[in-house]
Chain A
């Protein structure tokens, strides 16, 4: 997993999977990486082959963090199976999903 900052946005990429085993760690690392000036979180899901309900919960948690800073979470280029899960659970209504 790679985290870098770009202006007021935290950019996360290289996530292989987001499930029960790692989602809490992911959440905590992302939060820790955010400085006071950052309000948006951008997560590159192009390499993410697996997201389960815990992973979805983590995304919601980060969404709340961003909202508390008047920012948002943007999901970039999810793989088809992850996109399907996001749609199935109607989370595409909460997140901005960006396709390249």
Chain B
């Protein structure tokens, strides 16, 4: 072989073949197989096989009887650039034509040398005494598949790469695990979740050799991604809205959140010019990892490199598989931590609410009279059942004189401490105006004026029913501020309702309240209540309603029940109707019989 290139030694095959046409095929087959092992493609093999067959056939064709006893030598040599075939015979040989052309189309022979010439790059017929050699050469068309030895070296190198990758991944895993253990220990020490995330992600950047990060979280109950922490102030970008579908997605962080999978930005898919990240970090490469607790999207973690250092021969590799796993592990760890923190905040919140309700309940209970005053010839009974979320119901009976008293039932619209506070203020105001106690409408007008600013400032209002009873005159003067009607049941007559005109306190500063005076026949029963009674729900969602309450009141009055009995039966009736339902509103009532 004229030239040996590189370090690769040429491969050679030498064989002898009987001088018989039937022996040619096994010989060419052997050469074909040998060259196939050297990585020659199919097309090349067919050309060489045919050329070799033609050469052998020629050698046999021109052999005399003597020569037929001698074998034909076949050699094939191959390096990474050339293939050389040598066919040596022991015949007298033949004259190699100067010009090889195709024979007449109808000729049955004479195409062998033409084929050799066409399929090989060169053919030299070396004629000697009793021995002739045809040397045929052909350049290889494609880069060879490597030599066996080279091949195994390559495989060893590949193996080493794989092992290096595994070591890298293992050490990444180790680093991330130890970082996570370290941070888990820190978790109890660092109470501020922002500081915690910042520390954890700064570690992550080091572990995976990244330059920047942006951690966005979905605030509870909102459909946006708000930056929670970022590696630098320029990355503290405005919140991104999360669309319901991925239609007009432009920001990679939104895309990752909507598609619920990792999104890479790299050479193939660079950051869009309108992507928020491309402002502070143009030409960055990296990935966005969305993270979840259960099915709930907690947030996204964008990690990037500003100057991508390509690994040799692996253009475009930003993070290895191991590093990508580390990103995912850190993000998932953060997700759990954040979910835990939120749960704890919720627990604290719940405790605060519970504490507030307790305070409100205490206020409300303190407003209720410990004992109802005695009125000659009349009896009083009252009840107040607090709902879970304490409102601002209260009742009061203020004795004005031996025979005159003011009955009041009010409902502050609102919950918790503020409602209870307004109830307390209203109670004080009512008590602080003895001169108006026998003029309920005037009292309501005054209280409304005094409370208007405070109530309207917090969008709250109060409904109230005031009734001034004169037991000697057997009359009741009533005024109503948007409250439920007053019921009157007298023997032998249907229940009557009274609801003088008036809007709730705190709606209009100069509201006017009507006043009505009702005669109380002997054996009258009066019920003043809050809408917690009529709004009570049963298990199937039906309201107790005013009609049912009137019917019960009429029946109970006809049975001649006392105030105390009425109270007991009303409580039982409501209890039965609501079964085990949780009270949604306070239920307050005041009963007077006489």
Given A81-B43, A81-B46, the answer on whether A19 and B53 have CB atoms closer than 8 Å is yes
**Interface-located stretch among A2-10, A36-44, A82-90:** A82-90
Contact residues in B for A53 (Cβ distance below 8 Å): 54, 57, 109-112, 114-115
Give 1 or 0 for each of A64-100: 1 = CB within 8 Å of chain B CB.
1000000000000000010011001111011000000
A interface size (C-beta, 8 A): 24
Tell whether A30 is near chain B: CB-to-CB under 8 Å.
no
Interchain CA distance A84-B46 in the complex, whole Å: 10
For B60, the chain A residues whose CB sits under 8 A away are 20
Which residues of A have CB within 8 Å of B22?
Answer: 21
A90 engages B109 (CB within 8 Å): no
Minimal Cβ-Cβ distance residue in B for A90: B102
CB distance from A52 to the nearest CB of B (A): 5
Hey, which chain B residues are within 8 Å of A85, CB to CB? 50, 115
CB < 8 Å: which of B57, B107, B112 contacts A60? B107
Q: A21-B24, A89-B102, A93-B105 are in contact. Are A52 and B114 (CB under 8 A)?
A: no
| B106 on interface, CB distance cutoff 8 Å | yes
B118–chain A nearest beta-carbon distance, Å = 5
Known contacts: A50-B49, A57-B109. The answer to whether A88 contacts B24 by CB under 8 A is no
Count contacts between A and B, CB distance < 8 Å.
67
User: Is B187 part of the contact surface with A, judged by Cβ < 8 Å?
Assistant: no
Chain B residues in 8 Å Cβ range of A17: 25
Interface residues of B in 283-331 (CB under 8 A from A): none
Bound-complex Cα distance A54 to B46 (A): 16
* Contact A89 B24, beta carbon cutoff 8 Å: no
* A19: nearest chain-B partner, CB-CB: B53
A46 CB to nearest chain B CB (Å): 16
CA distance A69 to B102 in the complex (A): 26
Residues of A close to B112: CB separation below 8 A: 52-54
Q: Is there contact, CB below 8 Å, between A89 and B115?
A: yes
Tell me the residues in window 28-63 of chain B with beta carbons closer than 8 Å to chain A beta carbons: 42-43, 46, 49-50, 53-54, 57, 60
Chain B residue contacts of A50, Cβ below 8 A? 46, 49-50, 53
Q: Is B21 an interface residue (CB 8 A)?
A: yes
Pick the contact of B108 from A20, A57, A84 — CB < 8 Å? A57
In the complex, whether A56 has a CB less than 8 A from a CB of chain B is: yes
Docked pose: A30 CA to B388 CA in angstroms = 105
Tell me which residues across on chain B come within 8 A of A94, comparing CB atoms: 105-106
Listed residue (A61, A85, A91, A93) with the most chain B CB atoms within 10 angstroms of its CB: A85
Overall SS of chain B's interface: helix
Given contacts A88-B118, A89-B102, contact A54 B107 (CB under 8 A): no
Across the interface, which residues of B come within 8 angstroms of A19, CB to CB? 24-25, 53, 57
Interface-centre pick from B24, B53, B114 (highest chain A CB count, 10 A): B53
Majority DSSP secondary structure for residues of A touching B: helix
Known: A52-B57, A53-B54, A54-B57. A21 touches B111 (CB 8 A): no
Contacts of B114 in A (CB 8 A): 53, 89
In the bound complex, what is the Cα–Cα distance between A84 and B105 (angstroms)? Answer: 17
CA distance A19 to B22 in the complex (A): 10
Across-interface contacts of A93 in B (CB, < 8 A): 105
The distance from the CB of A25 to the nearest CB of chain B, in whole angstroms, is: 11
Task: Tell me if A64 and B118 are in contact (CB < 8 A).
Answer: no
Known: A19-B25, A20-B24, A88-B118. A57 touches B111 (CB 8 A): yes
How far does the alpha carbon of A21 sit from the alpha carbon of B119 in the complex, in Å? 21
Asked if residues A21 and B106 are in contact (CB atoms below 8 Å), the reply is: no
CA distance A17 to B50 in the complex (A): 11
Cβ contacts under 8 Å, A54 to chain B: 57, 109, 112
Please, which residues of chain A bring their CB within 8 A of the CB of B118?
88
Q: Provided the pairs A53-B115, A85-B115 are in contact, do residues A90 and B21 lie with their beta carbons within 8 angstroms? A: no
CA distance A87 to B491 in the complex (A): 124
Collect the chain B residues with CB atoms within 8 Å of residue A60's CB. 105-108
Interface mask (B91-118 → A, CB under 8 Å = 1, otherwise 0): 0000000000010011111111011001
Please report the C-alpha to C-alpha distance between residue A90 and residue B22 in the assembled complex, in whole angstroms. Answer: 27
Q: How far is the CA of A63 from the CA of B102 in the complex (A)?
A: 18
Q: In the complex, A60 Cα to B110 Cα: how many Å?
A: 12
Q: Give Cα distance in the complex from A71 to B107, angstroms.
A: 18
Is there contact, CB below 8 Å, between B108 and A91? Answer: no
Question: Shortest Cβ distance from B17 into chain A, in angstroms?
Answer: 12
Nearest CB on B from A90, distance (A): 6
Asked if A88 meets B46 with Cβ closer than 8 Å, knowing A20-B24, A21-B21, A60-B108, the reply is: no
- Which residues on the A side are within 8 Å of B108 (C-beta)? 57-58, 60-61
Determine how close the nearest CB of chain A comes to the CB of B32; give it in whole angstroms.
Answer: 10
User: 13 extra interchain contacts, Cβ-Cβ under 8 A, other than A50-B46, A53-B114?
Assistant: A19-B24, A20-B53, A20-B60, A21-B21, A52-B57, A52-B115, A58-B108, A88-B115, A88-B119, A89-B102, A89-B114, A93-B105, A94-B106
Sample (22) of A-B pairs whose CB atoms are under 8 Å apart: A19-B25, A19-B53, A20-B24, A20-B60, A52-B53, A52-B57, A52-B112, A52-B115, A53-B54, A53-B111, A53-B112, A54-B112, A58-B108, A60-B105, A60-B108, A81-B42, A81-B43, A85-B115, A88-B115, A89-B111, A94-B105, A94-B106
Interface residues, chain B, with chain A CB atoms under 8 Å away: 21-22, 24-25, 42-43, 46, 49-50, 53-54, 57, 60, 102, 105-112, 114-115, 118-119
> Which 5 pairs show the lowest CB-CB distances between chains A and B?
A57-B108, A81-B46, A53-B111, A53-B112, A20-B57
